[in-house]
Amino acid sequence: MQKLREFHRQSIEDRENFWRRESQHIHWETPFHKVLDYSNPPFARWFVGGKTNLCYNAVDRWLPTQADKPALIWVSTEVDQEVIYTRADLAREVNAAAAILRGLGVRKGDRVLVYMPMIPEAAFIMLACARIGAIHSVVFGGFASHNLAQRIDDARPKVVVSADAGSRAGKAIPYKPLLDQAMKTSQHPPKSVLLVNRGLVKFDPVAGRDLDYATLRARYDGAEEPVEWLESSDPSYILYTSGTTGNPKGVQRDTGGYAVAMVASMRYIFGGKPGDTYLCTSDIGWAVGHSYVVYGPLLNGQATVMYEGLPTRPDGAILWKMVEKYRANAMFTAPTAIRVLKKHDPALLKKHDLSSLQTLYLAGEPLDEPTAVWISESLGKPVIDNYWQTETGWPILSAQPGVEVVPTKFGSPSFPVFGYDVRVVDESTGEDLGPNDKGVVAIVPPLPPGAMSTIWGDDERFVRTYFSAIPNRTLYSTFDWGLYDDDGYWFILGRTDDVINVAGHRLGTREIEESLNSHSAVAESAVVGVRDALKGQVAVGFAVLKDPAAFEGGQAQADLENDIKRVIEERIGAVARPARIHFVGALPKTRSGKVLRRAIVALCEGRDPGDLTTIEDPSALEQIKDSL
């Protein structure tokens, strides 16, 4: 472990030399004259004066050696299609898309809002924006019209790019009506909408506004658009954090720092090398999709698999089928996907040849130990949990096998990643805490390359939100509760607002969920803190069973509830014993797989659950209501 610790130490104590070295892995059209400008904290400018371009580094740079090699592999089990784009194909498509955008008047610094399903054109447009210096803002496809209108008004795009529909479980999800409504209610609607017609639903184009992608694509076929060289700190994209209320919070990412961080993360965290194939199942509407479906693999000379579909359709082996077919070396998915697979025939895990797969990476939500153990033993492959945020753009905590292979601990995202000076601090005093002390996970600035540079259009909010929450110190607050153990392994216990206070005892709901999930009958669970007149708050659990039929009847469920409570009490203590455990068929989640805990708390307390536009399955919330 000495090599890993020394690598991290260098990245903190000798930042400039460390990142100067890493910067050599991308192309600079104009060399930078300063690695870091931190003269205006907490704002950090990386690779000052250097000029580069994300699209050039992701596409053009690899053409001399990979023109005929796969670059973007699109698989859709929704419409039963697979298309492999070589690096030359990708260059042709991206140049055509760039020509379309330029033809619509898009120039350097203009915004383009992307409201699309997981189709290749979404990646083409993102890369085309990067090519011409435009700033893309991807909004998760199918997001409600009100939320979409808010993002249009905040970003003020020159063009919106969308599609007739997305698809989920074989059912078309129309986007056009949502977009039309958003355009009507927006204060700053763009003049042009570029539409990909997939033929999934009928729609009426708006005359003079809606343009057909395929028609323009044919017109600009063979175009060669020049690269716009951007100063390293010029913005590359805006990505709005999920679940925002009120004025949207647009995370702004730079260009040069992001490129360097992406390549470094692919090399050291994900063990990637040029020519490898990387499979990430995230949607491009989320940070993981930006970094590890589109930019990271392509910047590092790897092929990327872009998947439209569910992990269970046509069956629970689809992810492993893709690994086998495209010889994927690494796979990145969410713990939710793995927990879903626990309910399926375990034989599906052995159905395909996984010899190419070196490591399974999981992130996006806390990874509970039982799920990690189950999938690791079932696959016989290393499982690496990594922890990060939309704001950081790449992992804060993770094992880093590209630096040194070290043992992992189930339930832990391992160690701070190079570039991140991570601490556990007292939420009242801001003081650093020692091993096994629970506190707020914070980062000593400057934030490393690739992390957010500010909030779009609101520097003051950037400072107020992220650097003013911890008293007596200027620290970036993750707003997550965590600790590290005597061996230096870190554990995330949940959001600071998911810490519950039971009769004066502070407990992370994640800790209780870990114990609940360890019971052999439980597939997954959610634990929330609910107001209680006597104790202040009590823990209430909601569990999805692996085999509900085995516990039918009131007495069987009562016995199971008591048995689960006993397990929790044995693992954590009596104070953590939930007041109730309800058994439900599904947990209410967003489309990215995050459990809507605030909505569950509201229902438990008899309040309105609020905005539920991001919920995947509304019936899951009805099950929560029924169980109460």
Q: Which CATH class is domain 55-309+386-413?
A: alpha beta
Tens of pLDDT, residues 57-106:
999 999 999 999 999 999 999 999 999 999 999 999 999 999 999 999 99
Contacts of 435 (CB under 8 A, 6+ apart): 483, 484, 485, 486
Domain boundaries, the chain: 55-309+386-413, 503-627
pTM: 0.86
539, 529 contact by CB (below 8 A):
yes
Cis upstream peptide for 205 (omega within 30°): no
Backbone φ and ψ for 250, nearest 5 degrees, come out as -90, 110
User: Averaged over 393-407, what is the pLDDT?
Assistant: 97
Q: Point out which residues pair with 526 in neighbouring strands.
A: 542
How wide is the angle at C-alpha 98 spanned by C-alphas 96 and 99, nearest 5°? 65
Long-range contacts (CB closer than 8 Å, 24 or more residues apart) made by 336-340: 336/364, 336/365, 336/524, 336/589, 336/593, 337/281, 337/311, 337/593, 338/362, 338/371, 338/374, 338/375, 339/371, 339/523, 339/524, 340/311, 340/312, 340/316
Reduced to 3 states, what is the DSSP secondary structure of residue 110? coil
User: Averaged over 404-415, what is the pLDDT?
Assistant: 94
Q: Diameter of the chain by CA atoms?
A: 72
Q: What is the mean pLDDT of the chain?
A: 93
Tens of pLDDT, residues 107-158:
999 999 999 999 999 999 999 999 999 999 999 887 788 889 999 999 999 9
Confidence of residue 245 (pLDDT cuts 50, 70, 90): very low
179, 143 contact by CB (below 8 A):
no
Give dist(CA 342, CA 347) in Å, integer: 11
Buried b or exposed e, range 588-614, using 16+ CB within 10 angstroms: bbbbbbbbbbbbbbbbbeeeebeeebb
Of the candidates 133, 64, 65, 55, the one whose C-alpha atom is nearest the C-alpha of residue 94 is 55
Cis upstream peptide for 416 (omega within 30°): no
User: Strand pairing of 505-508 and 303-308?
Assistant: unpaired
Instruction: Identify the pLDDT of residue 354.
Output: 96
Of the candidates 400, 426, 554, 556, the one whose C-alpha atom is nearest the C-alpha of residue 483 is 426
Q: DSSP secondary-structure letter at 447?
A: P
Give dist(CA 273, CA 244) in Å, integer: 36
Share of the chain above pLDDT 90, in %: 77
Reduced to 3 states, what is the DSSP secondary structure of residue 387? strand
User: Averaged over 437-446, what is the pLDDT?
Assistant: 96
Give dist(CA 178, CA 165) in Å, integer: 10
Tens of pLDDT, residues 458-476:
999 999 999 999 999 999 9
Of 14 and 510, which is predicted with more confidence? Answer: 14
Q: Could you name the CATH architecture of 503-627?
A: 2-Layer Sandwich (3.30)
Q: Point out which residues pair with 252 in neighbouring strands.
A: 238, 454
Burial of 284 (0-12, 13-18, 19+ CB in 10 A): buried
